[in-house]
Structure 1
Amino acid sequence: MRLRDLTPEEMTVAQRKVADEAAAGKRGRIPAPLRAWLYSPELGARAQRLGEFARYDTILGPRLSELAILITARIWTSHYEWYAHKREALKAGLDPDIIAAIAKRESPVLSDGKDQLVYDYVTALQRDHLVSDALHARAVDHLGEQGVVELVGLMGYYTLVAMTLNAFEIGLPDGETSDFPA
């Protein structure tokens, strides 16, 4: 890691407050990117609260959320983000073949219409930095305006996470290996 992990004894009052708030929240622990964000406690506080909402409280539900997170993690080749969310995607019922295809940068076979819609929307926005009118209209029809806004917010948050993990080289836990082909 490019930044030294702060011990609780080294943290300022503001840093400790952010770390404690994160650990006491729905995650029950300090998320990996917060290890860097603690160097800016205000950013850390705001980002971790947004992350808690994006991960647990959108109307998308765990399956669609985790699908969007995995696509984002793979686009950014964010090893830690993939590692953390692959398990969550499996728990949410995402088929291992879908996960494997995304890891290999292949288009997965998606029989569920909402899965396909989320895949198409996330892929288009991440790849092209825009979404066609037709795709956006389909997304609103199936997810509603709130769902589309929350999907874009989730993508933005997990792009921030991926960038943080990559920029500060927050790698996989000891003993873990990447699922991405070399």
Structure 2
Amino acid sequence: MARIILDEQAMTDEQRAACAEAISGRRGKIPSPMIAWLRNPELARRGQQLGEVLRFQTSLEPDLVELAILVTARHWTAHQVWTSHKRYALQYGIDEWLIETIASGMAPICSKPRHQIVYDVSKALLEQRRLSDALYGRAIAELGEPGLVELVAIIGYYCLVAMTANAFELGLPDNKAAELGDPKFMGVADP
């Protein structure tokens, strides 16, 4: 059950304005992390604006954006993010086997070079926190410098989204993704 909810009756004018702005944008709705971010309306406004740019206004094709989001959601075991973006990934033509492979934690061998580079860059940044010279060179050759900058921003932004969803249990239990396992702490001890 979500730890934080959107109480429309108790919202301030600033919170209402941030919600109206999100609803009037490309998404047409309030993105789930914004439910938590509304505790600081300026964070909510700017966070959802950044998300809108990264989802809809980069040089990367929509399937590449969704692939990076799925790799990030899997890394964080973010059920709500995974469930939402799995639907978009399928819509943009990402193969079911690729999605299942990522969900299982296995490293896929992608048939499309741009998918492979997005997967490899995402995994390297999430797990090793940097790119080797060789991977950096491959990424620049495949995506270009603007594309790589945008990809890094997408991964970073969706780390924030995933941590927000996990911390406040947004979308649970409704968006539990069975293929990701138990959303509760994933074996992490409570300090």
Q: Which TM-score tier does this pair reach, normalised by the shorter chain?
A: over 0.9
RMSD of aligned Cα (Å) = 1.3
Q: Which amino acid aligns with 2:89?
A: A
- Deviations 1:73-101, CA, capped at 9 Å, x for gaps: 00000000000000000011000000001
* Alignment-mate amino acid for residue 132 of structure 1: S
Residue correspondence of structure 1 range 100-139 to structure 2 within 5 A: 100-139=100-139
TM-superposition CA deviations, 1:48-68 (whole Å, max 9, x none): 000001111111111110100
Equivalent position SS for 2:179: coil
Cα offsets for 1:19-78 (capped at 9, x unmatched): 111011100100110010011101111100000011111111111101000000000000
Q: Percent identity, aligned pairs only? A: 49
Unaligned runs of 5+ in 2: 183-191
Deviation for aligned residue 1:154 = 0.5
Whole-Å Cα distance in 2 between the matches of residues 153 and 110 of structure 1? 22
C-alpha contact (below 8 Å) 1:125/1:131 kept by paired residues: yes
CA distance in 2: counterparts of 1:168 and 1:81, whole angstroms: 13
CA deviation profile, 1:78-135 (whole Å, cap 9, x unmatched): 0000000000000110000000010110112311111111111000000001110111
User: Which residue in 2 is equivalent to 1:72?
Assistant: 72
Give the Cα separation in 2 of the matches to 1:104 and 1:91: 21
8 Å Cα contact 1:6-1:35 kept in structure 2: no
State the shift of 1:137 in Å: 1.2
* Superposition deviation, residue 175 in structure 1: 7.5
C-alpha change, 1:24 and 1:178, in structure 2 (3 Å) is farther
Instruction: Give the drift of 1:146.
Output: 0.3
What SS does the aligned partner of 1:16 have? Answer: helix
Q: How does 1:149-160 map to 2 (within 5 A)?
A: 149-160=149-160
* Counterparts of 1:138 and 1:174, CA distance in 2: 39
Contact 2:74-2:82 within 8 A present in 1 as well: yes
> Is the partner of 1:179 in helix, strand or coil?
helix
SS in structure 2 at match of 1:151: helix
Partner of 1:38: 38
| Partner residue, 2:5 | 4
Mapped to 1, the partners of 2:14 and 2:24 lie a distance apart of 15
What is the match of residue 86 of structure 2? 86
Q: Report the CA distance shift for 1:101/1:53 in structure 2 as closer, same or farther (over 3 A).
A: same
Residues 105 and 45 (structure 1), Cα distance of their counterparts in 2 relative to 1, 3 Å cut:
same
CA distance in 2, matches of 1:120, 1:163: 21
Aligned partner of 1:105: which letter?
A: G
Structure 1, unpaired ranges of 5+: none
